[in-house]
Amino acid sequence: MIIFPAIDIIGGQCVRLVKGDYATASKVAEDPLETAKKFEEAGAEWIHMVDLDGAKAGYPVNTEIYKNIAQNTHLKVEVGGGIRSLETIQAYLDLGIARVILGSAALKNPQLVSDAVAKFGAERIVVGIDAKNEMVATEGWLETSDVHYIALAEKMIEAGVRTIIFTDISKDGTLSGVSAEQLRKLRDATAGRCNIVASGGVHTLDDILICRDMGLYGTIAGKSLYQGTLDLKEAITAADTLKIRPMQIADYDAVYDIWMACKNGLNNVDDSREGIARYLERNPDTSFVAEENGVIAGVILCGHDGRRGFIQHMSVDPQFRRRGIGRKLVSRALDALRAHQITKVALVAFKSNDGGNAFWEDLGFTLRGDLNYRNLALTDLIRYNDQ
């Protein structure tokens, strides 16, 4: 489970509200960038940010702050507040924001949500559902609708949304504990069809454990971090349910389902059960799967010929993406290759997979286009003297 430390912004300042009431805004930190860097030092991979001015105004106000953090830390930044158009979403993504949160638009303009998912992908679009007495609130929580939060969640899933942040406004900023009952209802109603992030009420590590044991995707922590009732590093350690272990042929069916979900190019020989069994016999300790709460979330097939390592497949189930699983699989595989004194690694990847190539290049691989592997139009990404 991911821990999302939170920074809310009003007038360029880091603040927290109580139950969404702007009149209760209190400053909790001096500088947004320095606060984000402290979260990063504690081990955070993500940061959750809300433009409270933007939520109230209906358009982005504090954009430069989010840009600064995205471009001056390694944190993946998600931003919400005042996002009402595809153009605004595009502008945020162009600044390096990892994903945007649509709140009021989910209720008032569901077509925007559908269009955004279609254009930018479900990994980049999150819907925030905020509720008072289980009814959806909008416009910076200043308006309450007659739509039940689970009904809206169902509509968002139908629109292609795969991640929902649920906030019980009565809990937000109160340090009174997470809204376990409403979260459990949402989890049961959506039955694994979306990632659920809990927001509001986090006080101590017990709240993190409640969300973790519920099988949630993530939990947002704000006031508890600033007031010291929750230690971020301890929370991240306790929340980590991801296990990476060597792949076994018994994992084949689950791995094949991931390949199909990712639309990987497969062939009937090498990628058959028999072909993978032979592959694992040759490479018994360099191929791995990632498990999240007992469910296989990703796989990397990695081998070597005594001189050079090669990564044949690396896939993460779309339901689990943007959790850093791909990077963790690669890190584990590279560690295994180092144990064999292999420091030169190649990735076999289709030329058309520009997004995938960008991922690997970001990890330090260099793109080459002169490899023709088994007469297929492929590229070779080489990483020398791996660090």
Residues marked as catalytic: 8, 130
Question: Where on the phi/psi map is residue 364: left (φ > 0), alpha (ψ -120 to 50), or beta?
Answer: left
Which residue from 188, 162, 178 is spatially nearest to 219, judged by alpha carbons? 178
Q: Which long-range contacts (CB under 8 A, 24 or more apart) does 105-108 make?
A: 106/152, 106/156, 107/136, 107/138, 107/145, 107/147, 107/152, 108/138
Pull the structure tokens for residue 198: 């809990």
User: E strands of 11-111, at which residues?
Assistant: 13-18, 21-29, 46-51, 76-80, 99-102
Length in residues, the chain? 387
- Whether the CB-CB separation of 100 and 89 falls below 8 Å is answered with yes
Name the residue type at position 231: D
- Whether the CB-CB separation of 219 and 4 falls below 8 Å is answered with yes
Alpha-carbon distance of 111 to 35, in angstroms, equals 36
CB atoms within 10 A of CB 157: 17
CA 381 to chain centre: 25
Alpha-carbon distance of 256 to 171, in angstroms, equals 42
Cα dist from 269 to 60, 67, 247, 275, whole Å: 52, 47, 19, 6
Alpha-carbon distance of 328 to 336, in angstroms, equals 12
- Whether the CB-CB separation of 344 and 295 falls below 8 Å is answered with no
Question: Where on the phi/psi map is residue 2: left (φ > 0), alpha (ψ -120 to 50), or beta?
Answer: beta
In a 3-state reduction of DSSP, which class is residue 249?
A: helix
